Amino acid sequence: LEKVLEMEEKPTRRRVVLVPVPAQGHITPMMQLAKALHSKGFSITVAQTKFNYFIPSDDFSDFQFVTIPESLPESDFDDLRPILFLLKLNKECQMSFKDCLGHLLVQQGNEISCVIYDEFMYFAGDAAKEFKLPNVIFSTTNATTFVCRSVFEKLYANNVLAPLKDSKGQQDELVPEFHPLRYKDFPVSCWATLESILELYRNTVDERAASAVIINTASCLESSSLSWLQQERLVIPVYPIGPLHIVASAPTSLLEENKSCIEWLNKQKVNSVIYISLGSLALMEVNEVMQTASGLDSSNQHFLWVIRPGSICDSEWIECLHEEFLKMVSRRGYIVKWAPQKEVLAHPAVGAFWSHCGWNSTLESLGEGVPMICRPFSTDQKVNARYLECVWKVGIQVEGELNIGGVEKAVKRLMVDEEGEEMRERAFSLKEKLIASVTSGGSSHKSLEEFVHFLRTLKR
């Protein structure tokens, strides 16, 4: 009898199928989640599109990777930009993912217990539902952006979104009952109409009968948005389990990291360098790059700048920049095409992060106690920037057209003035809270344990 009981108690290994959006800012947290679940005893299958296929290193040798055979031309991403591309990708993958999941079910049968998909890969939720498989939405952005999407829909339905279409005034107004967000902080994009953004947002929520939502955030950052989501918006459980980059490390860079910048940082003084990076999608005009460089130069601060190939409009890399730019770099800067960002942010020489405020960059910066200069480009980055400045008070947002004076002022406020020191102290205290939240007894740690229990007890 003891033997039988022992066998019954032995946990059966369950498999989860993960479906990431094929973009750096989404693949990274999905693979961190994969690592976290694997360490809890789950087997992992990752279903990726052909587009932007992430080639796994040996770190993922225990995982199964399968391809969703869509046939979108590579040029579609550049032509359509994220929102329209995602709408098209979802249509394109509808059938092919169903086939893919069907094959997996034939191969692995009952072992597959759940499909976890990025909120923007909602075709995966549809397919899971057809096979009567439990499915879970993974939000790689934050809870406040999730709330914004609901508010946005409601305002649109009530015809009060005029300020968003008005290029002159009103955009600066606070959204009623949603302070401190202004109309211009809504997660919209200059690359798509309000209507197509709404179409995407409507599809990201739970109408497909998902079983739960997990969010890469911590309650110490967004407790009121999380409560609102759970009480007003979602009937299914919400699990805030982040920041996942502290929970599990996963090498997922799509571009090669240039580690020489760490040697350069080793030669700089503590808190003396501004790290500049705009993530994997944002673009800058030549004039903006020149104004930023001149502002940094006149503020006498050292900088490490990631200029991703193709991130300066109409240029392969930096060949379009004036000679003056290279002179400024040689005086006090260092440039790489792609950096080991988490290592850079953890380096004692880095005193501030000039960022587009993508959610991963935001979490990585807060996780190292580094205050930020916020220059958001689109969607959730604007929400994050507003929270960094007005709620967590660890950032300064640079708004409007970039000019030398504005850049110099923001840089000095953060790197030289007492105000910057206060922000650094607040950032340090947030870092401690975030680390505590993912360690035993912390809120995200508890939430992950609960989610794992939930996954283990899911019935097909």
**Catalytic residue from among 103, 118, 245, 297:** 118
Residue that is written with structure tokens 């999730």 in the block: 146
Which range touches ligand UDX (CB under 6 A), out of 97-105, 334-342, 420-428, 434-442? 334-342
Residue that is written with structure tokens 């759940």 in the block: 114
What is the crossing angle of helices 418-438 and 219-228, to 10°? 70
Which range touches ligand UDX (CB under 6 A), out of 155-163, 322-330, 373-381, 410-418? 373-381
Q: Is 301 in the site for ligand UDX (CB under 6 A)?
A: no
| Window 49 to 68, contacts with ligand UDX (CB under 6 A) | none
Q: Is 359 in the site for ligand UDX (CB under 6 A)?
A: yes
Q: Is 334 in the site for ligand UDX (CB under 6 A)?
A: no
Supply 188's token pair: 């919209």
Residue spans of beta strands (DSSP E) within 135-221: 135-139, 212-215
* Least distance to ligand UDX, CB of residue 306, Å: 4
Which range touches ligand UDX (CB under 6 A), out of 40-48, 114-122, 264-272, 273-281? 273-281
Residue 26 annotated in active site: yes
227: Cβ contacts below 8 Å, ≥ 6 apart: none
* Least distance to ligand UDX, CB of residue 21, Å: 8
Q: Is 216 in the site for ligand UDX (CB under 6 A)?
A: no
Measured from the CB atom, the residue of 97 and 338 that comes closer to ligand UDX is 338
Q: Is 281 in the site for ligand UDX (CB under 6 A)?
A: yes
Helices in 109-142 by DSSP H: which ranges? 123-130
| Window 92 to 151, contacts with ligand UDX (CB under 6 A) | 140-141
Cβ atoms of 119 and 137 within 8 Å: the answer is yes
Q: Is 364 in the site for ligand UDX (CB under 6 A)?
A: yes
Cβ atoms of 216 and 139 within 8 Å: the answer is yes
One of 339, 349, 414, 423 touching ligand UDX (CB under 6 A): 339
* Least distance to ligand UDX, CB of residue 282, Å: 6
Supply 175's token pair: 């959204």
In 10 A of CB 327, how many CB atoms?
A: 11
Sign of CA dihedral 37, 41, 42, 46: positive
CA 7 to chain centre: 41
Measured from the CB atom, the residue of 211 and 384 that comes closer to ligand UDX is 384
Q: How many residues does the structure list for the chain?
A: 460
Residue that is written with structure tokens 């992060």 in the block: 353
Instruction: Show which residues are catalytic.
Output: 26, 118
Residue ranges that bind ligand UDX, judged by CB under 6 A = 23-26, 28, 140-141, 253, 277, 279-282, 306, 338-339, 341-342, 358-361, 364, 379-381
